[in-house]
A and B are shown apart, each in its own frame.
Chain A
Amino acid sequence: MTDVVLNINGHDIHVAQGVSVAAAIAMAGSAVTRRSVRGAARALLCGMGVCQECRVTIDGRMHQLSCQTLCADGMRVTTGEERP
């Protein structure tokens, strides 16, 4: 199966077709998706589009649910891993 190449926090990562952005974020190293309102690191929780913990910025669009988004070639993902 052909790989998909996407960019997470500035680093290219190769994943198989059909992999969720949430999974790609974890494969890239840290599973952290966002910072809470008090600054704590958060990662995936419900896995099914309910809890909103997995939200990240995808192709410039904020608050996208990474667990309900499949990786696509050229996609650019920014997580809350780095403190602003």
Chain B
Amino acid sequence: MTRYDVLVIGAGPAGLAAAHAAVALGGQVGLVDDNPLAGGQIWRGGPEQQQDQRAQRIWSDLRAAPNLTYLPQTRVLYAPAPQQLQVQTPTSSATLHYEKLILATGARERLLPFPGWTLPGVTGAGGLQALAKGGYPVQGKRVVVAGSGPLLLAVAATLRAKGAEIVAIIEQAPLPALARFGFGLLATPSKITQALQLAAQLGGIPYLRGSHVHSALGDGTLQSILIQRGGARELEALQCDYLACGYGLLPNVELAQALGCVTASNQRQTTVLVDEEQLTSVFGVYCAGEGTGVGGVDLALAEGRIAGLAATRQLTAARQLYGERARWKKFAARLERAFALQPELLKLAGDDTIVCRCEDVCHSELRTHTSWRSAKLQTRCGMGPCQGRICGGATELLYGWRPDAVRMPISPARIASIIDD
């Protein structure tokens, strides 16, 4: 039986920082991640491949630590008993026992339904960036990057560097909100440097503000999109091979909820509640990074390190990071205000627009329901393999209801992963 003093779920910046802080004390630390390579989304492709020196340093320390066990391509399914997690890899399963647990499960993109969004060629914004980093062919392709948030700029820069022709970046937030956000950057100078570097990489690409994608068109695969430019009377057509469209990020809170951790919903995101040590409402279970509220890599690193230090009772060291964490939290709050979603985005889905992609459930079948439960029972909305992770973010905005409970196992599992052992 494997027993970990500290088990970390998620090998993105928060999880890596947590594991890094925890291994220093010499206890057994496990690091579980569902991807084949560590790094999460922002350090995708492996921390050792990143320009960010912090990624390289943390990863080389972790690789050298004899008390770290790294478990890639490993998904958490459910908790068979307190302080245990059942996991599966593509070919096997195991029960992991732990003393302290740190959840660093990151975030996913908020994807909103619009006519044509199920066509092959339409992806998430961060989605296409992630795919391109895995070798997905974008060279010479015409790509529109759309949705909302600073992620769009990073996505466009990655895709352009890989040879894509970026037709336009379409940001739903209006110019005044963006201008206020830009001014607010003065409080966090390192973000200004980042923004200027991105601007240099994106020269010549139209950046349309207060604008959004109205629909995607194509016969079998994406060929063009219609966009609504801010202030324009008529829709405008753009030809493209790929549309990378995402409306910000949503924390992955399913595992925390499955373990009984208290979550809260505000500003249209559901987050895991933690105290100043990153401890959740469940004893011995910590949460760090996007799960506690979307805030980016710097906040994730600070929270992850605090959680790793707190879980190993290095409290004096943890407290030294509280100030830094508070600063990045302010930055996150400014981000959320600047990129708040405009109400017209909620009117894009037509009667026959699919909202639940797993079960092919349309807007017209859903909008008369008053709760997630009612819709689920009568239409199968949210009952497919994604378990409401994609449609849940949309139904919350479109109809005001979201998944009301987590279902076990929290990701699709093989029968053998549950009954063998």
Q: Is A46 within 8 A of B390, CB to CB?
A: yes
Q: Which of the candidate stretches B134-142, B191-199, B261-269, B302-310 sits at the interface with the other chain?
A: B134-142
Q: Is B357 within 8 A of A36, CB to CB?
A: yes
Q: Is B35 within 8 A of A49, CB to CB?
A: yes
A5 interface residue per 8 A CB criterion = no
For A, the interface residue count at a CB cutoff of 8 angstroms equals 39
Q: Is B358 within 8 A of A46, CB to CB?
A: no
Q: 0/1 per residue, B117-141, Cβ < 8 Å to A?
A: 0101111101111110011110000
Q: Is B127 within 8 A of A52, CB to CB?
A: no
| B interface: dominant SS | loop
| A45-B245 Cα distance, complex, nearest whole Å | 10
For B357, what are the chain A residues with a Cβ–Cβ distance below 8 Å? 36, 42, 45, 51, 53
Given A22-B131, A23-B137, answer yes or no on A31-B120 (Cβ-Cβ < 8 Å).
yes
B171 interface residue per 8 A CB criterion = no
B385 interface residue per 8 A CB criterion = yes
For B389, what are the chain A residues with a Cβ–Cβ distance below 8 Å? 50-51
A45 contact from B73, B111, B252, Cβ within 8 A:
B111
A41 contact from B41, B108, B124, B220, Cβ within 8 A:
B220
Q: Is B127 within 8 A of A47, CB to CB?
A: yes
Q: Is A42 within 8 A of B90, CB to CB?
A: no
Given A41-B220, A45-B127, answer yes or no on A51-B135 (Cβ-Cβ < 8 Å).
no
| A52-B386 Cα distance, complex, nearest whole Å | 6
CB distance from A26 to the nearest CB of B (A): 6
B359 interface residue per 8 A CB criterion = yes
Q: Which residue of B lies closest to A71 (CB)?
A: B135
Q: Is B34 within 8 A of A68, CB to CB?
A: yes
Q: Is B135 within 8 A of A23, CB to CB?
A: yes
Q: Is A68 within 8 A of B36, CB to CB?
A: yes
B290 interface residue per 8 A CB criterion = no
> Could you give 7 example pairs across A and B, Cβ below 8 Å?
A16-B135, A19-B134, A36-B118, A41-B120, A45-B357, A46-B109, A69-B90
Q: Give 6 new A-B contacts, CB below 8 A, not counting A31-B120, A49-B34.
A: A36-B357, A36-B360, A48-B127, A51-B111, A52-B384, A52-B385
Binding site for B on A (CB under 8 A): 15-16, 18-20, 22-24, 26-27, 30-32, 36-38, 40-53, 55, 58, 61, 63-64, 67-70
Binding site for A on B (CB under 8 A): 34-36, 41, 45, 73, 90, 108-109, 111, 118, 120-124, 126-131, 134-137, 220-221, 252, 357-360, 384-386, 389-390, 412
